[in-house]
Structure 1
Amino acid sequence: MNRLGPTLLLSATLLLGTGTAQAALPVEATMFKNPQCGCCDEYARQLEDRGVTVKIVDNIEVGKIKQSIGLPYDLGSCHTLQMGDYAIEGHVPFEAVEKLFEERPDTRGIGLAGMPIGTPGMPGPKQGDWDVYQFRNGEAAHFMTL
């Protein structure tokens, strides 16, 4: 009796299942920003490199967008991205964006306050940890640290 065949089949099946599951990002996003902000344009370009078409809206009061999504006042950044059912505030590293769409938590969105050096769209080397938060109705909570 040849037991090698079933053993190889089982091993191949297990190996195929060991890859990391990665959630697909939405194919489209809308970025709300000020017209003069070049770092926002670079963030959009890097997102497009990941296969997402980004529509840029720069003729709107960005503060009203932030208010409408329930972003806590002191956690804003230079741009707000609407992506699928979520808002992405600022230069959030793509690892956090991918985690958001993989886990799909019950939140309005995620963000990274300010414009930290080394994040997507911001030049320079990373300096320190980045605390990404999630938010809903003006309240923020920790999402992840990178």
Structure 2
Amino acid sequence: MHKIIVAALAAAVLGAGVYITNASLAVAEEVSLYKNPQCGCCESYADYLRENGFTVTVKPTHELVAMSREAGIPDDFQGCHLAFIDDYVVSGHVPVATVNRLLSEHPDIKGVTLPGMPMGSPGMSGAKTEPFTIYAVGDGKPSVYAVE
């Protein structure tokens, strides 16, 4: 009798594990990533997102600054590419942990941005020299969303 209970518990746990895995695969997000046609680091960031379960379509454009402004990202907070994921905008080389947090928490913001092209950030070469400050953007002034 004891073996049957242990076997049933193991099956339940393993079954839950399979369900959770399948659920996480089901929520893989589609990403439209807009970038300057000549930018290679943006392609590396797209690959980084793909390696982390996202489906990414890269769309070259010369209108990145205007698109970023329209998305609510002030000029001095813009990254080098612009991604649209779910109902959010992600600007720059934002680490996937922050992207996943954004998608799971669903905050009332337009999106997040990692300004510039920090060395060692996802998709960028070089060594990380300091924590990355990722900002939330919305209708007001950008505020710190995460520090990684």
Give the TM-score range, shorter chain.
0.7 to 0.9
3-state SS, counterpart of residue 43 of structure 1 = helix
Cα deviation, residue 11, structure 1: 8.7
Q: More helix per residue: 1 or 2? A: 2
Using the size of structure 1 for normalisation, the TM-score is 0.80
Cα deviation, residue 55, structure 1: 2.9
1:41 aligns to what? 43
Judging changes above 3 Å, is the alpha-carbon distance between structure 1 residues 17 and 119 closer, same or farther for their aligned structure 2 residues? Answer: same
* Pair 1:120 & 2:97 matched: no
Q: Partners in 2 of 1:82 and 1:126 — Cα distance?
A: 25
Larger RCO: 1 or 2 (CA < 8 Å, sep 6+)? 1
Aligned length: 143
Contact 2:33 2:81 in 1 (8 A): yes
Q: Partners in 2 of 1:72 and 1:137 — Cα distance?
A: 10
Q: Partners in 1 of 2:28 and 2:108 — Cα distance?
A: 17
Judging changes above 3 Å, is the alpha-carbon distance between structure 1 residues 124 and 102 closer, same or farther for their aligned structure 2 residues? Answer: same
Q: Partners in 1 of 2:115 and 2:58 — Cα distance?
A: 22
1:134 aligns to what? 136
1:70 aligns to what? 72
Contact 2:45 2:93 in 1 (8 A): yes
Using the size of structure 2 for normalisation, the TM-score is 0.79
- Aligned sequence identity (%): 32
What are structure 1's unaligned runs of at least 5 residues? none
Cα deviation, residue 5, structure 1: 6.5
